[in-house]
Structure formats: C-alpha cells, structure tokens
C-alpha cells in the first residue's frame, strides 16, 4: 500500500566487475531513499530466497537475468522488474538511469503487474527416469552437434499433428516468441496471450509453417531416430542430451511470470525500439 516501505529483492546476473559496479551504484542510490527495505540481495544463483517475500524482485543484467530469476523463484513467483545493463531487452527495458528517474513512481506503487504464461517441461526417458523443468521462453529440440536432420513428431492432447523434418523444433510461449522462435521465422505474439507457438527450424518442407494453439493443451514431442549430439534446450540455459525413446511433454505451468511495468514502458514501445519499427525510408529520384 502507498505509504508503506517498499520491500525489494535485488538479484544480480553474476558477480562480474561490471555487474558488481552496477549493484554498488544501485545499493548507494537506494540507501539515500527513505521508505525502502532491501529484504535480500546477491547473485541469482547464490541467493536463497525461498522464504523471502517482496513487493518487487529487481534484476540486474538483461532478459537472461530475468529467465534465471524466474527459475530461481520456482513456485514462489513474485513481481519482477528488470534493469538492463546491455542492449535493450524485451523484458528488462529500464536502464539504470531510467530506474532512478522512475523510482518515485515505483515507490508509490505506480506500476502494474501483468501475469504471463510459464510452462512445465517433462522429459521422460526410456529407462523410466524423468525430470521436470519450469520455464518461461521455450523448449527447443535441436540437431545441435549431430549436424543431421531430425524427424520430430508433434502431438497435441494425444493427437498426432504432423512430423517435422527439420534442424529442430521450438515450442514457445508468447514471451519467448521474440526470442529463438522469432529468429527461426516464428510470429510475434502479444505477451499476455494464453497460447503456444510451434516453430520449425529450417524445415525441409516448405508447407511446414509455425502453428499457434491454445495454452490449455499438452504438447508432446518424440524423435524416432535420434542422432548422437542432439539436444533438448530449455530457455537457452538448460541443456540435456536427446536420447532414443525420449518423450518430451510441454504444458502450461500452475504459476505465472509476473512482470512489473512502469508507466510509459509498453510492450509495443519496446518492440518499436528493439526492432526498429520506424517505417521505411523514402527515396526521391534524382
């Protein structure tokens, strides 16, 4: 509530000199603000935040730092506000100076929190073992070091949809639609949609196009003939070997990614800045 102390968790991408300098500058800035309580601070991987609640989790780094923070929070998702220390991100779209300029609004809770789709990815091995990962961007099945084409079977709610002959297949959330999926030719989805987009990587059939379907479905991937070196990649950060007999299942998670947005920093404004949507140049005949 306005008037109460703003409780923050500060998560740095790593402890590199550039990040450490940014964290020191942020700490010094916050120390000069009244009504601010830093509940916890540290690097994303090293900090234990299982029992810490906050109004905002502030990440230092970029979009990758937000992905790591989401995984760190697990089933205890809390609103995240990203400070970008590199190029403009789709999620972390505030520079350190913009964060300082906007802080009076942030302290007065003049920001909105929007829930976004996350997914659970379950990998079931032929030997009966299984592992489960919570993710935000995408699951990719990739030929990787095998340098061979894959035949990837896609089933939705148990119904076989098609077999993609490709270098890989991406199942992405709307948040992830501007990441690996976009570079593979997939569409841009509005971030708060409840949908998944399936995008083949270099499909060997021109009729294989990206597919958008409901987030209430379960998506199952299998590869009948797995070449050595093929990989399963989750959010670009978790890598597992793809093995013969693996069954990969992707479905909406029971938690959501909570993105905090300050006034004036909209999704379409970020797209405009990031993708250079300034219109086409007009040439005059000479």
Give the active site residues.
63
Q: Which of 95, 74, 66 is nearest to 83 (CA)?
A: 95
- Residue 72 has phi, psi (to 5 degrees) of -65, -40
CB within 8 Å of 101: residues ≥ 6 apart: none
Helix 17-31 and helix 96-107: axis angle, to 10°? 30
Q: Are strands 80-84 and 195-201 parallel, antiparallel or unpaired?
A: unpaired
Whole-number Å distance between alpha carbons of 108 and 72: 27
Q: What are phi and psi of 32, to 5 degrees?
A: -90, 0
Q: Which of 115, 80, 81, 86 shows the shortest CA–CA distance to 99? A: 81
CA 109 – CA 96 distance, rounded (Å): 18
Work out the angle at residue 181's Cα, subtended by the Cα atoms of residues 176 and 184, and round it to the nearest 5 degrees.
165
Count other Cβ atoms within 10 Å, centred on residue 43. 20
**Residue in the structure block whose two tokens are 């690097």:** 43
33-42: b (≥16 Cβ within 10 Å) or e: eeebebebbe
**DSSP string for 150-170:** EEEEEEETTEEEEEEEESEEE
Please calculate the CA angle 21-23-27 and round it to the nearest 5 degrees. Answer: 120
């Amino acid at each position: 509530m306005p008037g109460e102390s703003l409780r923050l968790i500060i998560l740095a991408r790593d402890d590199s000199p550039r990040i450490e300098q940014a964290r020191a500058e942020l700490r010094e800035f916050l120390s000069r603000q009244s009504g601010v309580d830093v509940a916890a601070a540290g690097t994303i991987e090293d900090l234990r935040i299982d029992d810490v609640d906050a109004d905002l989790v502030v990440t230092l780094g970029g979009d990758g730092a937000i992905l790591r923070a989401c995984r760190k929070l697990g089933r205890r998702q809390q609103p995240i506000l990203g400070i970008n220390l590199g190029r403009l991100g789709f999620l972390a779209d505030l520079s350190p100076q913009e964060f300082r300029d906007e802080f009076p609004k942030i302290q007065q809770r003049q920001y909105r929190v929007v829930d976004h789709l996350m997914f659970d990815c379950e990998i079931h091995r032929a030997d009966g073992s299984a592992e489960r990962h919570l993710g935000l961007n995408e699951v990719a099945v990739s030929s990787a070091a095998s340098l061979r084409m894959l035949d990837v079977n896609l089933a939705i709610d148990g119904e076989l949809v098609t077999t993609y002959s490709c270098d890989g297949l991406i199942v992405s959330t709307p948040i992830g639609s501007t990441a690996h999926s976009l570079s593979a030719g997939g569409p841009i989805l509005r971030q708060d949609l409840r949908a998944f987009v399936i995008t083949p990587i270099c499909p060997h059939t021109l009729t294989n196009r990206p597919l958008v379907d409901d987030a209430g479905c379960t998506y199952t991937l299998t590869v009948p003939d797995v070449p050595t070196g093929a990989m399963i990649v989750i959010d670009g950060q978790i890598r597992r070997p793809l093995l013969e007999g693996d069954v990969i299942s992707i479905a909406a998670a029971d938690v959501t990614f909570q993105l905090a947005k300050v006034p004036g920093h909209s999704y379409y404004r970020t797209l405009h800045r990031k993708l250079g949507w300034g219109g086409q140049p007009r040439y005059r005949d000479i």
